[in-house]
Structure 1
Amino acid sequence: MKTCPELVQQIMPNIKTISIDELPAKLEQDNALLIDVREPGEFGQGHIDSAVSMPRGVLEMKIHQHPAVQNYDSPKEALQALADYDIYLICQAGGRSALATESLQRMGFENVYSVNGGMNAWQNK
C-alpha cells in the first residue's frame, strides 16, 4: 500500500512540471491553457484569472468541454484540438495537479505540466 504523498513522489519523475515563477510567462503564449483542478469551493475562494475550473474528479470526463474547444462536433475532435495546446494544471499544493498530469498523459496529451507548489506557492509569491 502507498499513501497519496508516496504515490505523487513515485509519479514525479514521469511527468513534466513547471515552477510558479515560470508560469506567468508561459500563460502569455497563445497556445497556453491553465486548468485549476481544485474543487469548486476552493476555486471560488480565489484563483488565477485565466484559469478554467475542472475539478480533479471529473477532469478526464470533461476536458473535451474546455472553452477553448467548444466548437468541435465530437469529444474526440475536441481532444485532438486540445493536444495542440500547452496545458498547465494547478491545485492547492501540487499533489492533485501531479496526479491529473499523469492521467492526461495516459490519455495521450504530451504538453501537459503540473504547477509545483500550486496556489499555495502562487499566493506566497
Structure 2
Amino acid sequence: MKNAHQMVEEAKRIIHEISPDKAEEALPSADLLLDVREPDEFRDGHIPGAINIPRGLLEFKLSSDPELENRDQKVVVYCKTSGRAALAARALKEMGYLHIFSIEGGFDAWQQAEKPVIKPTMPDFD
C-alpha cells in the first residue's frame, strides 16, 4: 500500500514541473492557471489570474464545465508546496490533457521568489 508521499513522488516522475521563474514566463501563454488549494488558502493569497478548484473537486469540475473540457489547453497548476499540484497534474494527464505544467515548490516557492501575489482584503464597513 502506498502512502501520500509515495504517491506524490510517483506523480512527480511522470509530470512536468517547472520553476517559479519558468512558470512566470509560461503564464502569458497559458490558457488556465489552476490553484488546487482549499478556498481559505486561496483567499489568503494567490497568483494573479488563478482560478481555484480544490484538488478534491478537480476531476468533477473539469468533467462538468464545458469551458474546461478542451484537452489541448496549456494548464499551469500549483498548490502550497507542490504535492497536491503533482497529484492534480497527474490526474489531468490521465484525463487526456496534453499540456500540463506544475510549479515546483508551489505557492511557497512562488512567494519566496518574490513573484506577484494577490492578497484580497475585506471591505471596510466603517
TM-score (norm 1): 0.83
1:32 lines up with 2:31 in the alignment: yes
Of the three residues 95, 98, 123, the one matched with 2:111 is: 123
Q: CA shift at 1:11, angstroms? A: 2.1
SS in 2 for 1:47: coil
In the alignment, structure 1 residue 44 sits paired with structure 2 residue 47: no
1:98 is aligned to 86
Unaligned runs of 5+ in 2: 114-126
Shift in Å, 1:18: 1.2
Identity of aligned residues (%): 38
Deviating 4+ runs (over 3 angstroms) = none
Secondary structure of the equivalent of 1:59?
helix
**Secondary structure in 1 matching 2:20:** coil
The residue correspondences of 1:8-87 to structure 2 (distance < 5 A) are 8-29=8-29, 31-63=30-62, 64-65=64-65, 69=67, 78-79=68-69, 82-87=70-75
Alpha-carbon offset, residue 114 of structure 1: 1.3
Is 1:110 the counterpart of 2:98? The answer is yes
**Preserved contact between residue 74 and residue 99 of structure 2 (Cα < 8 Å):** yes
Question: Which residue is equivalent to 2:77?
Answer: 89
Query: 1:11 and 1:91 mapped to 2: Cα distance?
Result: 14
In the alignment of these two chains, the number of paired residues is 112
Instruction: Select the structure of larger CA radius of gyration.
Output: 2
